[in-house]
Amino acid sequence: MALIMPSIISVFFYTKVKQKRTTWYETFSLFVLFSLITNAALYALLVYILDTKSLLFSIAFTMKYSVLATIISIIVATLYRFIELNVTFNMKVESKNEKNN
């Protein structure tokens, strides 16, 4: 539960901030995206920054992991919404004319 619950919380948080209903496909896609980013970021934080040699899953470690993962997942959901609102792409597609005169 410590691996998936923070991502579920972030999906609920994101849908409340977005204020629109999402389809099951969007919800599942958001869950997978938030889950991958949250767990990868937290694993990198534990291994590379905090220099944890082994991840021993005790009750204390699981509680700390859950709290940190929840905080990171809410930050990820907020950043995702911020990027969604403020980043735009303008594309111009040009094709060759098929008729050569």
d(CA 32, CA 4): 9
- Identify which has the larger pLDDT, 3 or 53: 3
Closest among 37, 28, 54, 45 to 3, alpha carbons compared: 37
Contacts of 43 (CB under 8 A, 6+ apart): none
d(CA 67, CA 73): 10
pLDDT in tens, 70-99: 999 999 999 999 998 898 888 888 777 655
Confidence category of residue 29, pLDDT binned at 50, 70, 90: very high
Output the CA torsion sign for 64, 66, 69, 70: negative
pLDDT in tens, 30-73: 999 999 999 899 888 888 887 777 767 778 878 888 898 999 99
d(CA 69, CA 73): 6
Token pair of 89 as six digits: 């792409």
Domain boundaries, the chain: 5-84
Please report the pLDDT score of residue 88 as a whole number.
Answer: 86
Please report the pLDDT score of residue 98 as a whole number.
Answer: 56
d(CA 10, CA 83): 16
Please report the pLDDT score of residue 76 as a whole number.
Answer: 92
